[in-house]
Amino acid sequence: MAAILGIDPGYGRCGWAIVNDACSYINCGVIETSPLDDSQRLLQVYCSLKEIINTYHPISCGIEKLFFNKNVKTALSVAQVLGIIKLIMAQHNIPYAEYTPVQVKLSITGYGRASKNQLSTMIQKILKIPSLVIYDDAFDALAIALCHCLASSRYILINSNNQT
């Protein structure tokens, strides 16, 4: 089975998750960066993602789309992390798609404004896993990975139906 990577970009804590192309849970976690200077934090994210990629060999990746809120400083820091993520995807020839939180919720629950609890319940049912006690960032990455898996499955199904 092929692995699919989900990433919730973050500066202090970047969530990641791996599901397979049959939408089954494999692993998830967070990349926590030390409160060092910017370049060292970005290097930590880069090296950790490279290790995850070398361990699981994902064939594609779903990334949470940057949401620009009122805090410009935070948005700029997350944008830098997003640049690192896109760089490493390009270096490893891993195609990626970006999803908004509404798209993730809609894909998994059928309702774009679903609560965290509703999302968690559906993820557990779809992935057939017991309750996970994980950082919110890892949970978000898992939701993104599952959304990307479901979107990829629909794309493959639509394309396979159109080839007849």
Please give the positions annotated as active site: 8, 64, 137
Over the range 140-163, which residues count as b (16 or more CB within 10 Å of their CB) and which as e?
bbbbbbbbbbbbbeeeeeeeeeee
Structure tokens that stand for 161 in this block: 């139906």
Residue 119, C-beta contacts closer than 8 angstroms, at least 6 positions apart = 104, 105, 108, 109, 143
